[in-house]
Amino acid sequence: MSELTRQQFFAAIAPTIVLIRQQGSPILPSVRLAQSLLETGGVLHAWNNLGGIKVGGGKLTPYWRGDAVTKGTWEFIGGQEVKEKAAFRAYRTLYHYYKDQDELFNNTRYAKVQEAKTAIEQAEQIRLAGYATDPNYSAKIMSLITKYNLGPFDSATVKFKPQSGFEKASIIPVMVDQLLYCAAYLEKGITYIPVRKISELYGAKVDWKSKQVYVNGELVETRLGGSTSFVKPRDVMSLLKIRLEWDNYAKVLFIN
C-alpha cells in the first residue's frame, strides 16, 4: 500500500491515463483521475484496481487474467450504506486496470458514457448506468475535478498521431518495475522504442555519427520516426544486459 499526497497520487496515475486517452479511450482524463481518487482515497494498492471493478461473471479479458482479492466495500442498499465483502479483480499494472475498465465501458450499457462530451455529462452517465450504488457518485467526481483543477488534462490530451515513418504503427506502453516508463511503437508484431530512452535507463552512452547510432560504442540498427531514432529492444538486450517480457494479451512490453 502506498500513501501519497494528492499531487503524488495524480502524478503516479496521470501518465497512464493520458496514454490510454491517446490510444482512443472514450473516458475523459479528468473524470478518470477524479474517479480513481474517489474509489481509492488516494491509496495505491498492489492489486491496481482503482475503480472497484468486481470479479463479476469471471470472464477473462486481454487485461484481466483471473487474479482477484476479497475485501470490504460500502454499498448503498435500500437507501442505506451497508458494508459487505466482495471479490475484486486484481491487475498486474495500472495500465491493465484502465484498459479493462474501458472494456467495461465499451458495453452497450455505457453507450451514453462513451458519447459524453463533457466531464459533468460523463460523470452523470456513469452514475445513471449503475457503475456505483452511491446516489451522489457523479457529484463527488465533479467536486474532485473542481477541487484539484483536473479539467486541463482533457484539453491537453489529444489522440495519438504516429510520427512520420511509423504511420501504420500503434502506440503501446513500456513498463519498468510495473510502472509506465515510456511509450513505444508496435508495427507488424515488432516493437520499436526510442533508443535514448532505453539506453539512458541503464546508464548507457548514446552517440550519433554520420546518421548512425552507437550505444556504448557499439553500432545499433535504428529506424527514424520524425526526429527520433527508434531501436528494436531485442537488438540491445545483450548490450544493455536487460531482460524483456512481452504480454501478448495486453500488448505491453516489460523491461526487467
Could you report the per-residue pLDDT of 154-172, keeping only the tens digit for each? 987 777 788 888 999 999 9
Topology classification of domain 170-255: Copper Amine Oxidase; Chain A, domain 1 (3.30.457)
Q: How many CB atoms lie within 10 A of CB 170?
A: 14
Write out the catalytic residue numbers: 75, 100
| C-alpha–C-alpha distance, residues 172 and 187, integer Å | 10
Specify the domain boundaries for CATH 3.30.457 within the chain: 170-255
Specify the domain boundaries for CATH 1.10.530.10 within the chain: 2-156
What local confidence, expressed as pLDDT, does residue 73 receive? 67
252-255/170-176 β-pairing: parallel
Asked if 250 and 96 touch (Cβ cutoff 8 Å), the reply is yes
What local confidence, expressed as pLDDT, does residue 83 receive? 67
Q: Enter the pTM of the model.
A: 0.91
Q: Which CATH architecture has domain 2-156?
A: Orthogonal Bundle (1.10)
Task: Give the chain's length.
Answer: 256
What local confidence, expressed as pLDDT, does residue 157 receive? 72
Which residues of the chain register pLDDT less than 70? Answer: 1-2, 72-83
What local confidence, expressed as pLDDT, does residue 204 receive? 92
